[in-house]
Every structure is written in structure tokens, then in C-alpha cells.
Amino acid sequence: ALNEEQAKEAVFDVAREMVYANAKLNKRIKPYTKTMVAMHSASRFQLLSGSKRGKHGKNLSAMIGDEVHEWENREVMDALRTSMVTRSQPVEIYLTTAGFDKNSLCYELHEYCMDIQEGELDDPTFFGKIYAADAEDDWTDPKTWAKANPNLGVSVRLDFLRDECAKAKRLPTYENTFKRLHLNIWTEQD
């Protein structure tokens, strides 16, 4: 993620809670503050910040990048991706909502994914899934919200989105925020 705190909260702490909650994982994995170690293989799950410093020279099997729309450039992704050169089946996972900077790494990944989804590009090494409303959809309609939130009513509360939509209707300056962060629609400005 952009910084260590965000990476810790959004990815690392969630994974650590999964270890604590599962008896089998708890026997095999030792959690620490910024690392979890699988004792039998000496494999580790490590918290990394979005800083480009210190990212070269790693030997990753997998990486999870969170909130890619906030990343300033592709330096961290490229450093970590190239560290996977010795792996036969490396995995990269990127999570994000839409942004507004169409000259960004996030938009590059978004367009690449869309080209594959629309059949314009064939890349069997890349799987991408974008849950988003279409720009022409009625952004105030709960049916549109469901397109961008497949877990609507489970982990994403319908009443919360209703309140946020009402706020966006009252405050035009909040409309783009609602569209970007709740409907995954790329906007022209923040």
C-alpha cells in the first residue's frame, strides 16, 4: 500500500486474524508484528510499505498491492515483480477503487484488464476482474450500486450507500467521490 500503516490495516492484520482464527493455520504459522513465518518451510508473509527504498533484491512468490489508485508511479510494482523471476508460478494481486488520474499505473492496469475482458487482448498470465458501474448508468440507482459492490448487503451496507448517495446529491463536490469510491467509476478530477 502507499504506506506501512495502510498495508498493515488493509492486508497484513486481516491475514494475521485469519491465522489466529484457524486452528490448523495457528499451529503452522507464527505471527509477529510485521511478519508471519511458516515454520516448516521458513516461508514468510511480510508487511511492506509503498516506499521504493529497499524493495529490490527480494525473492517473492506472491505480492498483494492495495489501493493502487494512490500509488505515485510503478517503481515499487516493478521492483517487486522483477523479484519473482525465479518463481515458476508467481502471483500478483492488486486491489483498488477507481481514481481520477488517467496517467497513472492504476489506470494502466485498469485499461489492460478491460482490454482482456472485452476480448481485445489475450494474456493468459493475467486475470483481472473489475466490479464497476458504467459511466452511463444511473449512479443513484441501487441496481447500479450492486454492479460495483457484489457483496452489497453483506459486507457493504445498503443503508450506508443510500446515505452516501443522498449526500452526493446534496453536495455536488462529493458526487465524484461517491462515483469513484463506491461505484468504481473513473472521474476526471478528485
Concatenating the DSSP letter of every residue in 138-159 gives -TT-HHHHHHH-TTBTTTB-HH
| Separation in Å, CA 22 to CA 31, 32, 36, 174 | 13, 16, 14, 41
168-183 pLDDT tens trace = 999 999 999 999 999 9
Q: Can you tell me the mean pLDDT for 101-123?
A: 94
As a whole number, the mean pLDDT across the chain is: 93
Residue-wise pLDDT for 83-97, tens only, equals: 999 999 999 999 999
CA dist., res. 166 & res. 65, Å (int) = 32
pLDDT in tens, 15-59: 999 999 999 999 999 999 999 999 899 899 999 888 888 888 889
Q: Is the pLDDT of residue 1 over 80?
A: yes
| Residue 190 clears pLDDT 80, i.e. is over it | no
Q: Full-prediction pTM beyond 0.75?
A: yes
pLDDT for res 81: 92
pLDDT in tens, 131-165: 999 989 999 999 999 999 999 999 999 999 999 99
Secondary structure (3-state) at 38: strand
Rounded mean pLDDT of 65-77? Answer: 90
Long-range contacts of residues 157-166, Cβ cutoff 8 Å, at least 24 apart: 165/139, 165/140
